[in-house]
């Protein structure tokens, strides 16, 4: 039996709690939050109470971004396995501090939450790409957008001091992670960051072009002036394409018209330069198992002492290095 604690019991903390309920070998024993809460757990507003409890095996950190690094380091140094929400801190420097804590505690697992990699549409697209039957990836395009209301100005996500960045750090980082998942590291970055509408100290739009050493170019648009929720990932290959439209979420705001997550696959493209294809397949998903699959891997890694495969500190360093490049070029 794994005794688990959650620090930060807002939306993400509650999502993690519900996902943990599916595992019979996990027991939520502690919750830490700034609000007084009651439930079948011990409550505290001081994380030290959790870190000093020797019966706690793992800690889920679901706090604002600027708190992540210190809590991850404290958790590891207290002998706890740690699962932390994205982003992995607010800078490359913070990632390196967490990596140092991980190195000091080699028997412990540290995983960052990037649940989009576990969506069935993404997993199936990755399997098809890796099969080689569609040829090489030529280019990709990722769009992830939403609208926010005036209450956003009261939220911690609206302040650079607490979030570290704007829409790219808050939401677009998921799309950047998926582009890296399919194409590997990107070496060249050209970007524009703007805040023409909200006029805050964080960006409300990011436009970026990324290119890797194999010549794959990916375009990214991350926005919170979309005025409607949108998720679209397009992967074009030598002999076909894969397009994910909509992504299932806790709010169900990013799905297609029919409340679905849809992967469209075209194969057997006509000989160049023709644009036809002989077959198009649609895979429709109406259940989000990403939260379960993500925690399932973390629980397995703890129980069987396996390395974290997805969302490990190397992934975090690679991703945050790219995020910083996008921000740096966007200021030029």
For the cut 70, the answer to whether the pLDDT of residue 276 exceeds it is no
In a domain, 137, yes or no: yes
Please give the pLDDT value at position 278.
Answer: 67
CATH number at residue 58: 3.40.50.720
What whole-number distance in Å separates Cα of residue 159 and Cα of residue 66?
Answer: 11
Integer CA distances (angstroms), 134 to 128, 180, 237, 264, 271, in order: 8, 19, 6, 14, 13
In a domain, 327, yes or no: no
Give the model's confidence band at 250: pLDDT under 50 very low, under 70 low, under 90 confident, else very high.
confident
Do 135 and 84 lie in one domain? The reply is no
In a domain, 328, yes or no: no
Q: What is the mean pLDDT of residues 272-295?
A: 85
- Residue range 7-63, pLDDT digits in tens: 999 999 999 999 999 998 999 999 999 999 988 999 999 999 999 999 999 999 999
Do 166 and 223 lie in one domain? The reply is yes
- Closest by CA to 107, choosing from 69, 81, 87, is 81
In a domain, 321, yes or no: no
Do 21 and 170 lie in one domain? The reply is no
Do 227 and 280 lie in one domain? The reply is yes
Do 108 and 206 lie in one domain? The reply is no
- Residue range 90-147, pLDDT digits in tens: 999 999 999 999 999 999 999 999 999 999 999 999 999 999 999 999 999 999 999 9
296: number of Cβ within 10 Å: 15
Do 198 and 211 lie in one domain? The reply is yes
Do 142 and 262 lie in one domain? The reply is yes
Do 134 and 105 lie in one domain? The reply is no
Q: Which residue has the higher pLDDT, 41 or 267?
A: 41
Do 155 and 6 lie in one domain? The reply is no
For the cut 70, the answer to whether the pLDDT of residue 269 exceeds it is no
CA atoms within 13 A on the CB side of 222: 28
CATH number at residue 183: 3.30.360.10
User: Contact, 88 vs 65, CB < 8 A?
Assistant: no
CB within 8 A of 79, min separation 6: which ones?
54, 105, 108
CB within 8 A of 103, min separation 6: which ones?
none
- Residue range 310-328, pLDDT digits in tens: 999 999 999 999 999 999 9
Q: What is the residue range of 217's domain?
A: 120-247+249-287
CA 143 to chain centre: 15
User: Contact, 57 vs 2, CB < 8 A?
Assistant: yes
Do 256 and 140 lie in one domain? The reply is yes
CB within 8 A of 105, min separation 6: which ones?
76, 77, 79
Do 155 and 259 lie in one domain? The reply is yes
Q: How many domains does the chain have?
A: 2
Q: Counting every residue, how long is the chain? A: 332
Do 267 and 180 lie in one domain? The reply is yes
- Residue range 203-223, pLDDT digits in tens: 999 999 999 999 999 999 999
In a domain, 326, yes or no: no
């Amino acid at each position: 039996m794994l005794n688990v604690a959650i620090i930060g019991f807002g939306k993400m903390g509650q999502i993690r709690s519900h996902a943990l309920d599916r595992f019979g070998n996990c027991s939520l024993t502690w919750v830490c939050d700034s609000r007084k809460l009651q439930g079948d757990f011990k409550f505290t507003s001081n994380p030290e109470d959790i870190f000093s409890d020797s019966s706690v095996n793992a800690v889920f950190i679901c706090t604002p971004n600027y708190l992540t690094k210190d809590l991850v380091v404290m958790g590891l140094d207290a002998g706890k396995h740690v699962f932390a929400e994205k982003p992995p801190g607010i800078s490359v420097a913070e990632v390196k501090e967490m990596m140092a804590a991980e190195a000091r505690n080699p028997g412990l697992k540290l995983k960052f939450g990037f649940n989009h990699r576990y969506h069935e549409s993404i997993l199936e697209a990755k399997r098809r790409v890796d099969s080689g039957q569609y040829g090489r990836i030529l280019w990709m395009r990722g769009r992830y957008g939403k609208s926010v209301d005036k209450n956003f100005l009261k939220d911690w996500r609206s302040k650079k001091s607490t979030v570290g960045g704007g829409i790219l750090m808050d939401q677009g980082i998921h799309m950047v992670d998926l582009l890296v998942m399919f194409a590997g590291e990107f070496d060249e970055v050209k970007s524009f960051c703007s805040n023409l509408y909200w006029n805050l100290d964080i960006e409300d739009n990011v436009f970026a072009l990324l290119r890797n050493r194999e010549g794959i170019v990916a375009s990214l648009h991350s926005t919170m002036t979309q005025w409607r929720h949108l998720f679209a990932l397009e992967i074009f290959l030598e002999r076909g394409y894969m397009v994910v439209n909509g992504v299932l979420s806790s709010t169900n705001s990013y799905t297609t018209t029919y409340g679905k997550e849809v992967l469209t696959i075209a194969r057997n493209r006509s000989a160049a330069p023709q644009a036809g294809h002989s077959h198009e397949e649609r895979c429709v998903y109406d259940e989000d198992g990403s939260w379960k699959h993500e925690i399932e891997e973390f629980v397995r890694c703890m129980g069987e002492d396996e390395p974290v495969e997805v969302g490990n500190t190397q992934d975090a360093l690679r991703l945050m290095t790219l995020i910083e490049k996008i921000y740096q070029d966007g200021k030029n």
